[in-house]
């Protein structure tokens, strides 16, 4: 059977629940769904979210403050193992990483930091990027095939945002951030969406304040990256741009048998 993997920054799991998240999950029936920016602790969630029909769920949340960050995995198959974080306190306490091991691959669901707030947060973001690379390199050394999905908070190339020139000095499209993605790709991680779609105009995030989605003035910052050994198995990679409820659209990846 093909394996359908979705990733979605929901910009608040409780908010998106009120907009039909569970009904959408039932319709889409992904085998694995990685959710970012849940903005919730488990004690703030109801049984419908914690135990949706047909799914096991795993959660990581911010120990720094409530209503901030957080990721979750909804999975049909029970993972062999699930780990929260990289084992680095300053990153793990923000609840940004879940690592689920399956027989055929290891799935990383990550909400990468935003670097816009300050120079300190930009450094935090870059350090987090480096920790991610080390984690994936270690997994590959163990012989694992790896899928790294989530909101990377950076558009890699000019084709990945509607207005590149205007955003050259904006975090999310800074040379230092884009250079790290170059390094990430050089290390063997493949932006699988671009294997199927070479043309511009595909975005996964739009500024809500300016109604940018209506005009498709967006950024592609939500990705599925896969290690090179998984590329032959990928059947499709798409952005579900018609799915509303967040300022991000879900991104889809389907692995063939």
> Which pLDDT score, from 0 to 100, does residue 144 have?
98
Nearest-angstrom CA–CA distance, 215 and 234? 31
DSSP 86-117: -S-HHHHTTT-EEEEE-SS-EEEEEEPPP--S
Q: How many CB atoms lie within 10 A of CB 48?
A: 11
Tracing tokens 């579900």 back to the chain, one arrives at: 240
Among 42, 133, 122, 32, smallest CA distance to 78 is for 32
β-pair type (32-36, 71-75): antiparallel
Q: Which pLDDT value is given to residue 113? A: 98
Cβ atoms of residues 189 and 136 within 8 Å: yes
* pLDDT of 123: 98
Q: Please check the confidence at residue 87 and state whether its pLDDT lies above 90.
A: yes
Q: pLDDT tens for residues 140-165?
A: 999 999 999 999 999 999 999 999 99
How many CA atoms lie less than 13 Å away from 188 in the CB half-sphere?
Answer: 16
Collapsed DSSP state (helix, strand, coil) of residue 198: coil
Count the Cβ atoms, other than its own, within 10 Å of residue 162: 18
Structure-token match 């080390």, residue found: 134
Crossing angle, helix 119-141 and helix 175-186, to 10 degrees?
A: 0
Contact indicator for 40, 111 with CB cutoff of 8 Å: no
- Mean pLDDT for the stretch of residues 64-73: 96
Tokens found for residue 196: 């199927």
* Tens digits of residue pLDDT in 156-195: 999 999 999 999 999 999 999 999 999 999 999 999 999 9
* Domain of residue 194, CATH code: 3.60.10.10
| Residue among 178, 179, 149 nearest 164 (CA) | 178
What domain count does the chain have? 1
List active site positions.
Answer: 151
Q: Judge whether 35 and 8 are in contact, CB under 8 Å.
A: yes
Give residue 257's pLDDT band: very low, low, confident or very high (50, 70, 90).
confident
Separation between Cα atoms, residue 225 and residue 242, nearest integer Å: 22
What tokens appear for 148 in the block?
A: 């790294």
Q: How far apart are CA 248 and CA 204, in angstroms?
A: 5
Whether the CB-CB separation of 119 and 183 falls below 8 Å is answered with: no
In sequence order, what are the beta bridge partners of 97? Answer: 110
Q: At 205, give phi and psi (nearest 5°).
A: -140, 140
- Cβ-contact 54, 91 below 8 angstroms: no
pLDDT over 90 (residue 112)? yes
Residue 247 scores a pLDDT above 90: yes
* Beta-sheet pairing, 205-206 with 189-191: unpaired
State the residue range of the domain holding 95.
3-255
């Amino acid at each position: 059977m093909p394996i359908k993997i979705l990733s979605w920054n929901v910009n608040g799991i409780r908010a998106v629940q009120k907009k039909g998240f569970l009904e959408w999950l039932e319709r889409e029936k992904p085998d694995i769904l990685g959710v970012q920016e849940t903005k919730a602790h488990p004690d703030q969630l109801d049984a419908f979210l914690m135990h949706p029909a047909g799914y096991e769920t795993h959660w990581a949340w911010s120990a720094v403050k409530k209503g901030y960050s957080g990721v979750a995995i909804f999975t049909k198959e029970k993972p062999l193992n699930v780990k929260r974080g990289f084992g680095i306190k300053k990153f793990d306490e923000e609840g940004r990483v879940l690592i689920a091991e399956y027989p055929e691959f290891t799935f990383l669901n990550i909400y990468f930091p935003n670097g816009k707030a300050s120079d300190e947060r930009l450094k935090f973001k870059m350090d987090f990027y480096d920790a991610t690379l080390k984690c994936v390199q270690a997994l590959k050394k163990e012989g694992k095939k790896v899928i790294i999905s989530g909101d990377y908070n950076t558009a890699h190339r000019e084709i990945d945002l509607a207005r590149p020139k205007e955003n050259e000095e904006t975090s999310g499209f800074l040379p230092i951030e884009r250079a790290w993605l170059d390094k990430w790709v050089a290390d063997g991680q493949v932006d699988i969406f671009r294997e199927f779609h070479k043309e511009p105009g595909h975005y996964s995030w739009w500024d809500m304040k300016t109604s940018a989605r209506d005009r498709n003035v967006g950024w592609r910052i939500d990705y599925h990256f896969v290690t090179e050994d998984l590329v032959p198995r990928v059947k499709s990679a798409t952005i579900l741009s018609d799915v509303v409820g967040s300022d991000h659209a879900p991104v889809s990846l389907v692995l063939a048998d």
